[in-house]
Amino acid sequence: LDPRHRLNVPAGKMSCYPDDPGHFVRWLCHHGEPGVRGGDFAERYRYGAYLADTLGRAIMAAQGVVTVRRLRTRATGCRWTTLPGGDPTARLELADGRTVDAHRVVLATGPSHANAEWAPEALRGNDRFITDPWAPGALDAALGQGDKEDVLLVGTGLTSVDIAMTLDRPGRTVHTVSRGGRLPQAHAVDPLPAAACTTPLHGLSLSALRAAVRQHIGRVMRTHGDWRPAVDGLRPVTAGIWASMSTEERAEFVARYGSLWNTHRHRMPPATAEAVGRMRRTRRMRTYQGRLAAASARPDGSLTVSLTTGDGPRTLPVGWVVDCTGPGLRLSDTADPLWRSLLDQGAAMPGPLGMGVATDDGRLHGADGSTTRPLWTLGAPRRGELWETTAIPEIRAQAATIAEAVLDPGTAPA
């Protein structure tokens, strides 16, 4: 738990409950931070504690109405069976050999892990290649005796920024590389309210949409001197714009503008941006636009990596390579056994562009396009359908919608 890791959304927008936006801020006030404000960026581990405490209180409040069983294992498959009463039922297969029968299933699995297909063959399987920096103990060796060795982070997004701060040590250089070579933009210290776009954006061609968005940002810049309110003002209409695009336009947007959008839409907290700025000014952090082309082991166990950049090839000696590319977008390529089971048997189908899965307001489409099975998902697995679906404001609204659907007798298995 690195206290330097902060939420990249202000506390006032991180409540669990859509109808109670101040819930998280009040929780912080009651748990040791009486001076916190809605515009502050809380330490990330505090949010984990908040979620656990809120869930615990909800379970206590539901005693006598709802029974909660926590199983410390993983679901590895989902099959359909018919119980003696005649109802079709989902039978979840667990890693410990048990099964659980359920009439309704919500797949709150979060983002899928990246498969590191970009990694050179010589790097895969090497102990100095950290494929999941968030796994418990994953960074221990790089923080221990090897904390003087330089590090290469592949990816320059929010994950990379946090890992760079954790690995920062005197005498060490943290190298970062990505195809775009862009670090996330910073939140404003004194943010302005979102500025809605006055021009209709739905149904435009991609070139017309680009022009309209540029005009919107230009108007806001002239009025407020800051582009951030303009980007924030696009948030309520992003899903609608995405839905109005053709498959070809979506693919072109992701390829040409996806990185640019993400760096401006998903920004660093001011304190994080300040820390990263110090690292870059003192050359303890360097960022390259390019890709990792090759890697080889050195006699002492460290690595030599070769980057292909816009300035030509570059060779770096590093102690570690860390995958900071973020979650995988194509759930169809997942190795997760539960999702693999659902996709293989046709209970789920890939979403647009192969990103996530196809749903109808969270209810999974089968391979035949139907939504007859009582299976729901939320968050990252809906990326292809919604594009913006990984932040708490979107996820909490989806969770509320799914909860109502699960309680609706009309959603029983067909």
Q: Per residue in 353-365, pLDDT tens?
A: 999 999 999 999 9
Q: Do domains 75-113+329-411 and 129-185+268-323 have the same CATH topology?
A: yes
- What would the CATH number be for the domain defined by 75-113+329-411? 3.50.50.60
Q: Name the least confident of 1-5, 89-93, 111-115.
A: 111-115
Position 318, amino acid: V
Q: What is the pTM of this model?
A: 0.92
Q: How far is CA 375 from CA 90, 106, 108, 331, in A?
A: 9, 6, 11, 16
One-letter amino acid for residue 47 of the chain: Y
- For residue range 220-229, what is the model confidence (pLDDT) as tens digits? 999 999 999 9
pLDDT for residue 414 is more than 60: no
The superfamily CATH assigns to domain 129-185+268-323 is: FAD/NAD(P)-binding domain (3.50.50.60)
According to DSSP, the β-strands at 312-318 and 303-309 are: antiparallel
Helix (H, G, I), strand (E, B) or coil at 336: coil
The encoded tokens of residue 272 equal: 């994080």
Percentage of residues in the chain having pLDDT higher than 70: 98
Q: Would you state the pLDDT for residue 81?
A: 81
User: pLDDT digits over 173-187, tens only?
Assistant: 999 999 999 999 999
Q: Tell me the pLDDT tens digit for each residue of 25-66.
A: 999 999 999 999 999 999 999 999 999 999 999 999 999 999
Using CA atoms, how far residue 410 sits from 121, 305, 348, 365, 375, in Å, is 51, 57, 21, 17, 14
Show me where the domains of the chain are located: 11-61, 75-113+329-411, 129-185+268-323, 206-265
**Could you report the per-residue pLDDT of 223-269, keeping only the tens digit for each?**
999 999 999 999 999 999 999 999 999 999 999 999 999 999 999 99
CA neighbours within 13 Å on the CB side: how many for 181?
12
- Provide the strand spans (E) within 115-171: 129-130, 151-154
Give per-residue pLDDT as tens, 259-306.
Answer: 999 999 999 999 999 999 999 999 999 999 999 999 999 999 999 999
Contact 142, 151 (CB under 8 A): yes
Neighbouring residues of 107: CB distance < 8 A, sequence distance ≥ 6: 338, 339, 364, 375, 376, 377, 381
pLDDT of residue 27: 98
